[in-house]
Amino acid sequence: MKFCSQCGESVTQRIPEGDNRSRFVCTVCEVIHYQNPRIIAGCLPVYEDKVLLCKRSIEPRSGYWTLPAGFLENGETTSDGALRETREEANANATIIELYTLFSLPHISQVYMFFRASLDNLDFSPGEETLETQLFSEDEIPWDELAFPVITQTLNHYFEDRKEDLFPVRSLDIVLQRKAR
Amino acid sequence: MKFCSQCGESVTQRIPEGDNRSRFVCTVCEVIHYQNPRIIAGCLPVYEDKVLLCKRSIEPRSGYWTLPAGFLENGETTSDGALRETREEANANATIIELYTLFSLPHISQVYMFFRASLDNLDFSPGEETLETQLFSEDEIPWDELAFPVITQTLNHYFEDRKEDLFPVRSLDIVLQRKAR
């Protein structure tokens, strides 16, 4: 951020009065521009004993398999965002069962959340950001070709929890150190 | 948003190519400025059979009681944010037990999450945004003076769940209609 989005003048970084963190503050109108973590909402779409994965057609991790998920939009509930991403990435309709995993990724200021969902039918196909869509049983999951640790962990927990048919919500942190500068 | 935070020129609202929502886009450098929901993280701090509430000293809802909570910061995990807010608003140290409630408030593009937490000791006092801090047993809760529906619902669930000593995570939506313009 270099310029104030309210008045167009330069911003500087300083700790505002009464605050304890450095913020972008306008040098002219003094508006404080807060920056906050973003939410990625997605589904774990299940059909019988299989889960629906999407092969990404975009970076990062193009060519790797993911669960349908994406940035939550203003005006959306988290479950609505998860279902919208499932429609956009897999042209699939699903029904939310329950929140399942919540991940903090503080090194990139993101919070992921996945909902267990039942796929309404077998009518699915790749959306614009997807190369392939496919249902996988547990022994077919391409574990070495999953796009992100949050996907691996969500699937791992799912197949483990499915043995007992109990799916407690899991709140997890994925903490990486920033590279030294 | 009126000006581009990257180059300082005017922004306009339009649907970028490949998108389906109106965004702020710079008329000169064409950077797209996405706006996304923000997370408010907080604690339900418990000490023996009581919960710690804070009387707000700031708007909105100054003078009403709340659980310690506030905007998640970049670089933080959700539980770290919840504990930081507990320190800032109640000068209290607590230990996270588990995620408890998650609320979508799409009309204001916010997602609230509360963690059950055990208060480490009785050393608490009002922080800068707080008039009073007090422990309340169930029959002492000032139900008519709670600041927000997410506080009322979290406390209601807590006292109900405590009877069985089972605290499933609850993902809830608080959907209000926008006022007609």
Mean pLDDT throughout A108-119? 98
- Chain A residues within an 8 Å CB radius of B111: 39, 72, 78
- Asked if pLDDT for residue A78 goes beyond 80, the answer is yes
Residue of B nearest to A11 (CA): B5
Q: Could you write out the DSSP letters of every residue in B43-60?
A: EEEEETTEEEEEEE-SSS
* Cα–Cα distance for residue pair B136/B159, rounded to 1 Å: 12
Chosen from B169, B172, B175 to mutate, greatest number of chain A CBs within 10 A: B169
Confidence at residue B52, expressed as pLDDT on a 0 to 100 scale:
98
Which band of pLDDT confidence, cut at 50, 70 and 90, is reported for residue A46?
Answer: very high
| Cα nearest neighbour of A106 on chain B | B75
Q: Which residue type occupies B107?
A: H
Q: Which of A37, A113, A169 sits opposite B74 (nearest CB)?
A: A37
A129 close contact with B: CB closer than 8 A: no
Give pLDDT tens digits for B111-133.
999 999 999 999 999 999 999 99
pLDDT of residue A70: 98
Going by C-alpha positions, the residue among B100, B119, B96, B104 that lies closest to residue B157 is: B100
ipTM value, please give it: 0.94
Which pLDDT score, from 0 to 100, does residue B18 have?
Answer: 85
pLDDT at A181 > cutoff 60: no
With residue B41 as reference, give the H or E element that holds it.
strand B38-47
Q: What percent of chain B has pLDDT over 70?
A: 97
Task: Give the pLDDT band (50/70/90) at residue A110.
Answer: very high
Judged against a pLDDT cut of 90, whether residue B135 lies above it is answered with yes
- How high does pLDDT run on average in chain A? 96
Average pLDDT score over residue span A132-157: 98
Mutate to test the interface with A, among B1, B2, B5, B40 (most CBs of A within 10 A): B5
Q: Look at strands A69-71 and A38-47 and give their pairing.
A: antiparallel
Say yes or no for a CB contact (<8 Å) between A2 and B1. Answer: no
In this complex, do B8 and A1 lie within 8 Å of one another by their Cβ atoms? no
- With an 8 Å Cβ cutoff, is B4 touching chain A? yes
Chain B residues whose CB is inside 8 A of the A36 CB are 38-39, 71-74
Whole-model pTM above 0.80? Answer: yes
* Beta-carbon separation of A8 and B2 below 8 A: yes
- Contact B16/A at CB under 8 A: no
% chain A with pLDDT above 70: 97
**Cα separation of A168 and B36, whole Å?**
28
Contact A21 B73 (CB under 8 A): yes
With beta carbons under 8 A apart, name residues in chain B contacting A21. 73
Exposure class string for A115-136: b at 16+ Cβ within 10 A, else e:
bbbebeeeebebbebbeebbbe
pLDDT single digits (tens) A163-173: 999 999 999 99
Residue type, B142: P
Separation CA B136–CA A10 (nearest Å): 48
8 Å CB contact between A56 and A146 = no
Chain A touched by B6 (CB under 8 Å): yes
